[in-house]
Structure 1
Amino acid sequence: MGASTSSEPRVSAEKEEAEAVASSTGALPMLQKAFSKLADPQTNAVPLESLQQRFSFAGEGSNVPDSLTVMLAHLGSTLVDQFFVPDKGGIINWVEFVEGYNKCCARVSASVSLNMLLRVFVAISKCANVPVHLEFESGDADCKINGHFLPNDVFLLLALCWAMTWSSRNLKGGRNLRLPDLNHLVLSVITSCGQVEGLDVWDCDISSLEVQLPAGKFVTWVMSTVPCLADCLRLYFHARLQMAGIDGVELASSNSSRAGDISSIAAHDYLLTQGRAWAISITQRSTVSEEISRAFISNEGGMDDNLVYRSATHGRGLGRFWSRIEGYKGPLLVLISASSGEPHEGNSVDRKWVIGALTDQAFETKDTFYGNTGCLYSIGPVFHVFPPVGKEKNFVYSHLHPTAKVYQPHPKPVGVAFGGALGNERIFIDEDFAKVTVRHHAIDKTYRSGSLLPDQGFLPVEGLISEVEVWGLGGKVAKEVQNSYKKREELFTEQRRKVDLKTFASWEDSPEKMMMDMISDPNAVRREDR
């Protein structure tokens, strides 16, 4: 009796502490439902095998490498081993269940989250007999990581993160996992963390590269480029337990159509592919990330609903562009695909690249820069992000030709620009949407320094535009506001075209009477001339 009495306060304290942490994240009700569904009524605990099955990856892939398939097969057992401590009988009681959730999903620093993700990656790699070269100095949650990555290791880690993100977004949808193109992210790691002489990023076989990428530099790259990468583990963990607490919900069969299927995206050949959209989403901790995931990853989204402007569909030029984006009060993602040729052995070599800009607000017709925040992106062939640095606020510039024909001794540039200053913009798109000029980051004090193009140099680079896309990331509300705005403008335009004689006081005040008098006697003295 004495032993049990002394242990009860300790158990009660652990329970209160675990529940308090879970409550701070708002997950306690969900955990209670999940535990009641998974627990054995006789033991009031969750069998280890049942929990491993709940965290197992449910999905099949058509273009998934064999090594990743084996790793995904060990995902459930690895997560349970990493975060749950079973009793001697191999069961998980309520306190251990909540503590396991807190280990993975409680609020912690970004470095701790990344450390947990890398530990899971190393454990899964060992189970799948995939060699890794990473070592942790201690068992602390934020210890130093030694060793190095190979390019193929980076690809597998990114592919694993994508698979967990896809699964957490499509628990009710299809099970046909399809990996997007992740080369732009792998090349970003290689160019940021390694030293490869003569690397041609436009024509490079990543799988054949054996360059060693130090673990410390990789951690720095994640923190500066894709700080939300580690969130994929937390999202997957939370989504699996959330589904466990829902009655009568089963995962759809593998032939379900929409989820994870990028065939519709490939058919349109959009610049914003699933891989590029996911890369942008893991750079943002805002509603923008959620909207991108809803449209490009979740089976509940509709990517066509987010397309605001596309030059190939709606026509080139600033006027066509403005007619599509005017009135959209929400974040907008602008993508520009262009090519620049350089003389090489007597030939002109076309180098195609994609850059982008994320604005946090609507476009305005101004002859000065404006905006509160935003980001620039180098998207292809190498991915980089350039957030604001806080020195200046020259985020966006969008200037149309003035409607009134007034002489301007120093006319302002007509076009769309991001960063820099007037006449010296970091990115400038001309009014015909035919050319884009990219300048060195030294002239820009708004966005982070760095090259938007591989081997950019100090001189301005002028590219021939092949496509411009604008994607609305303000959700349904922003789209409804824009639709209302357009309907109102159409109504005003229609009213201007009509002249209602009832609005005039009398025939003497009507414009028809004035025109007839002028025609009958143009030399007559009028009150306006006296």
Structure 2
Amino acid sequence: MGASSSTDNKELSEKREIESLAASTGALPLLQRSFSKLADSQTSTVSFQSFKQSFCLSYDTTTTEGDQKVPDSFPKLLEHLGSSLVDLFFVPEKEGLSWVEFARGYVKCCGRMSASMSFNTLLRVFHLTAKNAGLSSKLEFESDEADCKINGSISTVELLMFLWMCWTMSWDGRSTKSAELFLPDISHLVLSALVSCTESGTSLDVWDCDVFGLELELPIGKFLTWALSTIPNITECLSHFCNSRLQHSLNVKDGSGPSKSSGGDDSASKTCENTLLTCGRAWAISLTSKNTINEEILSSCFPCNSDETNEHLLYRSYYHGKGMNRLWSNVEGYHAPMLVMVSASCGVDHEGSSSERKWVIGVILQQGFENKDAFYGSSGSLFSISPVFHAFSSSGKEKNFAYSHLHPSGRVYDANPKPVGIGFGGTQGNERVFIDEDFAKITIRHHAVDKTYQPGSLFPNQGYLPVEASVLDIEAWALGGKTAKEIQETYKKREELFNDQRRKIDLKTFTNWEDSPEKMMMDMMGNPGAPQKRRELNE
């Protein structure tokens, strides 16, 4: 009897501990509801096989961004993803999962852990999935512990499939068309890893490089270093996928699951087909840090309705025209996080020859644009986006995050006029990035002039000297949600009302020529003393 009581206390203590760990993730209510729906009323356990089935992915069609080639083995990889994940973390003592085993499996997969352990967990999922799909892998795990050491390497094709697997887990539950899978162009991420992790990567011609044809091996240690510094938020895809699958099982049980539709073009490809902020670029930016604006960035990756214009796009020079004034008329009053994208073209030297190359950079501003003659901002991030992706967060040394200055409204003489245009980092007159007022030219300087953002080249083969390039297109994307957009709309309406009031003229005042301002001006020009004499006569 005492042994039975001791066992009960141990089980109760274990149950409380697991529930506490699950509660720390914020998913305990979802786990409780899904377990209640899935569990057998007589055995109080969840059928292991049916649970594995609820994690399986099945897509009728797969589309890609651009002309990307999907490896033949990738669909097979996705077929084994759900079952491999369940086999890895959810271990039943019998044929069914008890509540403790159910919650423990979720904590093993999605519980709070260090960044390195999160990456180990994600790589373990990929490794087992590839193994079950019959694919070879050179990854080796020294033990079954989440913090064990990983040896081996990952090939270029494996890297591509690993990143696409993570995208698919993030895509799951966000897309309204559950029967379709859209794969973004992530060549800029692949090239970033190759340049950072391999000796051959430094000599690659990244401007004309087919990442799908490269056969390079990335040492897993260097890859993890790159991933932890460049895309630390990618591990969130695992918890999103688990939550999405659990929620989907609830919807199926309730009969309210999403209907599968395979007709028409995918919304993601339609929404971002012509903008600088493509799905792959938006996803890459969202992976660089864990913050509140990531969902706003991801909403441009996973739009809900392709028939609606993208409400996040505040300004695009291709549509609205180039120049500070055109930009200002669209972003004024928006005081929330904003993403600025710039596409430019310049001559680049490579292996002794020079050719015109296009590249894309981006900046995240936390407070939007302000018309000031000095630098401002409390935080921000600078990005090299294409052809190679790199992120440069705040260095913490200076706060020259942004500079945006229009021509003064009053025509007052200024002996030392401030530069008119947009700048990021550096100092006034020596900015790391500066765009002139006409949006015709952009100047990029070496990171040595900048103590605000972390060092690094904004495009390949940048060099030490300032580079002037032609601006091709500029975009400004709203990342502050509906509230910030509503505040801006209110501001615009108020400004329009004030402008209308200023333009109104009381015609009754000017019906008499003798009292009109035009006649007074003509009198003053013809006889400067006339107004004084008129006042004396009136007195």
Q: Same fold (TM over 0.5)?
A: yes
Partner of 2:66: none
- The question of whether the paired residues in 2 share the 8 Å contact of 1:332 and 1:361 is answered with yes
2:231 to 218, 226, 232: 226
- Pairing 1:331–2:337 present: yes
1:300: Cα distance to partner? 5.9
Per-residue CA deviations over 1:48-84 (Å, capped at 9, x if unaligned) read 1111011111423424432111111011211111111
- The question of whether the paired residues in 1 share the 8 Å contact of 2:400 and 2:425 is answered with yes
- Pairing 1:370–2:376 present: yes
5 Å matches for 1:22-41? Answer: 22-41=22-41
5 Å matches for 1:491-506? Answer: 491-500=497-506
1:133: Cα distance to partner? 1.2
Where 2:414 maps in the other structure, the secondary structure is coil
CA separation in 1, counterparts of 2:384 and 2:520? 66
State percent identity of aligned pairs.
51
5 Å matches for 1:249-264? Answer: 249-255=256-262, 261-264=268-271
- Pairing 1:130–2:135 present: yes
Query: Is there any run of 5+ residues in structure 1 with no aligned partner, and where?
Result: none
CA separation in 2, counterparts of 1:13 and 1:518? 93
Partner of 1:156: 161
CA separation in 1, counterparts of 2:488 and 2:534? 44
Partner of 1:191: 195
| Large movers: runs of 4+ above 6 Å | 343-347, 527-530
Q: CA RMSD in A?
A: 2.6
Do the aligned partners of residues 402 and 139 (structure 1) sit closer, same or farther apart at CA in structure 2, a change above 3 Å counting?
same
Partner of 1:76: 82
CA separation in 2, counterparts of 1:110 and 1:344? 37
CA separation in 2, counterparts of 1:387 and 1:131? 37
Partner of 2:427: 421
CA separation in 1, counterparts of 2:502 and 2:9? 79
5 Å matches for 1:33-432? Answer: 33-63=33-63, 64-88=70-94, 90-170=95-175, 173-196=177-200, 198-246=203-251, 247-255=254-262, 261-266=268-273, 269-299=274-304, 304-342=310-348, 349-432=355-438
Query: Is there any run of 5+ residues in structure 2 with no aligned partner, and where?
Result: 64-69
CA separation in 1, counterparts of 2:261 and 2:118? 31
Q: Which amino acid aligns with 1:450?
A: G
CA separation in 2, counterparts of 1:419 and 1:321? 20
Q: Which amino acid aligns with 2:192?
A: S
The two structures have a TM-score, normalised by structure 1, of 0.93
Return 35-44 or 486-495, whichever deviates more: 35-44
Q: Which amino acid aligns with 1:265?
A: C
Do the aligned partners of residues 120 and 517 (structure 1) sit closer, same or farther apart at CA in structure 2, a change above 3 Å counting?
closer
Do the aligned partners of residues 525 and 278 (structure 1) sit closer, same or farther apart at CA in structure 2, a change above 3 Å counting?
closer
The two structures have a TM-score, normalised by structure 2, of 0.91
Do the aligned partners of residues 411 and 511 (structure 1) sit closer, same or farther apart at CA in structure 2, a change above 3 Å counting?
farther
1:131: Cα distance to partner? 1.5
Return 399-408 or 327-336, whichever deviates more: 399-408
Count the aligned residue pairs.
Answer: 523
CA separation in 2, counterparts of 1:298 and 1:525? 67
Where 1:202 maps in the other structure, the secondary structure is helix
1:184: Cα distance to partner? 0.4
1:211: Cα distance to partner? 2.3
CA separation in 2, counterparts of 1:99 and 1:408? 69
1:228: Cα distance to partner? 0.2
Partner of 1:14: 14
Where 2:173 maps in the other structure, the secondary structure is helix
CA separation in 1, counterparts of 2:523 and 2:327? 47
1:110: Cα distance to partner? 1.5
CA separation in 1, counterparts of 2:147 and 2:353? 52
CA separation in 1, counterparts of 2:130 and 2:329? 52
- The question of whether the paired residues in 1 share the 8 Å contact of 2:172 and 2:178 is answered with no
